[in-house]
A = this chain, B = another copy of it.
């Protein structure tokens, strides 16, 4: 950015738009305590002016219907880490199970020489790793009714996860010849289960007890979840209690979804439901991620996809992690469409709708159809239309 640009920006900044700050109803009095009775000195709370929250995927901000899907407010997030309290949730049952960690055990059985049980204390004595990884629900796709990026892309979050490599545990149990898969089972009401190829389990999976420096949150599987870096959210079995080593994929409801998520990105500012109040300088910002590895580059178009400019990367670039990008932009006040696309370090490029439709042999108006959505991870380039009055709306296909 040149000084000339900055000079022009400053003129518009004088206008004092309140973008990026929610003008929300602020509680006049705020509890001096956090929710477990600790003082704010013992366990800190947010400022009373900070009000961002998860919403249900019905799009109603106050009614969650069920807790199947709660969406992370990625339009308000900065950096790459998702605050633990705002991590998206997609699980069965109205509430997370209330598990006493002193009672919880992980069982390893099936095609192993030595079936094993681990208490949480035993697991926490073992060698561990700590990795910053996104988890994205495979059903993280937009619907026509969606308004904000929280609706269209809010089923992805990124945390530092800490736990024990599954290879260590499986080697300790002694995997028998003929074993090809594992089945992981959670302690939730429905005993959610998922089959994972054994080779992936040995290569990259771990059983995580830590999230962003603390224990897992209840909605994220406290006290233990499976991490399957880069795979769909439902592979990351929460409240993990059992791993069975087997010779073929069990008929779990989801045994077919085992591909790693492809490269994906979205602009979080400006995004749906926001409004640019004036022409002038803005920093376009967004998130990019890939289940296959690191993000190598991100490009942004501010003219509906005719020209693509390289975006800046603004923070850590880690494997299978959210990556923050941005682009300095002077908006001329005219209607336009903005979008981002990313490339990962194995060379995969996020497809546009037209490219995606061509590769699947469907017409471009079908890229959001139920059949296409159910084929797996939906990672298309996602455009936002900015009207001449600054209103931002989803604008599916350019």
A219 interface residue per 8 A CB criterion? yes
Task: Kindly list the 5 A-B residue pairs having the minimum CB-CB distance in the complex, ordered from nearest.
Answer: A130-B315, A78-B210, A20-B124, A79-B130, A42-B53
Do the beta carbons of B98 and A128 come within 8 Å of each other? Answer: no
Number of copies: 2
Interface string of A328-352 (1 = CB under 8 A from B): 1000000000000000000000000
Residues of B within 8 A of A21 (CB): 101-102, 120-121, 124
Do the beta carbons of B86 and A49 come within 8 Å of each other? Answer: no
Do the beta carbons of B39 and A64 come within 8 Å of each other? Answer: yes
Question: How many Å lie between the Cα of A55 and that of B214 in the bound state?
Answer: 16
Do the beta carbons of A35 and B42 come within 8 Å of each other? Answer: no
Interface string of A1-36 (1 = CB under 8 A from B): 101001001100100111111010011001101111
Question: How many Å lie between the Cα of A30 and that of B37 in the bound state?
Answer: 9
Question: How many Å lie between the Cα of A48 and that of B328 in the bound state?
Answer: 45
A214: which of B54, B86, B222 is its contact (CB, 8 Å)? B86
Residues of B within 8 A of A307 (CB): none
Do the beta carbons of A119 and B16 come within 8 Å of each other? Answer: yes
Residues of B within 8 A of A77 (CB): 213-214
Closest Cβ–Cβ distance, residue A41 to chain B (whole Å)? 5
A236 interface residue per 8 A CB criterion? no
27 contacts between A and B (CB under 8 A): A10-B116, A13-B118, A13-B122, A16-B121, A18-B102, A18-B121, A19-B121, A21-B120, A27-B37, A30-B35, A31-B35, A42-B53, A42-B70, A43-B53, A44-B218, A46-B218, A47-B98, A47-B99, A47-B217, A49-B102, A78-B162, A125-B281, A127-B312, A130-B315, A130-B316, A130-B324, A131-B316
Closest Cβ–Cβ distance, residue A39 to chain B (whole Å)? 7
A83: which of B20, B49, B50, B84 is its contact (CB, 8 Å)? B84
The A115-151 residues at the B interface (CB cut-off 8 A) are 116, 118-122, 124-132
Chain B residue nearest to A277 in the complex (CB):
B121
Do the beta carbons of A126 and B67 come within 8 Å of each other? Answer: no
Do the beta carbons of B43 and A85 come within 8 Å of each other? Answer: yes
Interface string of A83-109 (1 = CB under 8 A from B): 111110100000100111110000000
A393 interface residue per 8 A CB criterion? no
Residues of B within 8 A of A126 (CB): 9, 283
Residues of B within 8 A of A318 (CB): 316
Which residues in A have some Cβ–Cβ distance to B below 8 Å? 1, 3, 6, 9-10, 13, 16-21, 23, 26-27, 30-31, 33-56, 64, 67, 70, 76-87, 89, 95, 98-102, 116, 118-122, 124-132, 160-162, 168, 171-172, 209-210, 212-215, 217-219, 222-223, 281-283, 285, 312, 314-316, 318, 324, 326, 328
- Residue from A16, A102, A120, A213 with most neighbouring chain B CB atoms (10 Å): A213
Closest Cβ–Cβ distance, residue A227 to chain B (whole Å)? 13
Residues of B within 8 A of A131 (CB): 315-316
Do the beta carbons of B217 and A44 come within 8 Å of each other? Answer: yes
A217: which of B46, B162, B285 is its contact (CB, 8 Å)? B46
Closest Cβ–Cβ distance, residue A79 to chain B (whole Å)? 4
Chain B residue nearest to A131 in the complex (CB):
B315
A162: which of B79, B95, B127 is its contact (CB, 8 Å)? B79
Do the beta carbons of A79 and B215 come within 8 Å of each other? Answer: no
Do the beta carbons of A128 and B41 come within 8 Å of each other? Answer: no
Do the beta carbons of A80 and B130 come within 8 Å of each other? Answer: yes
Residues of B within 8 A of A51 (CB): 36
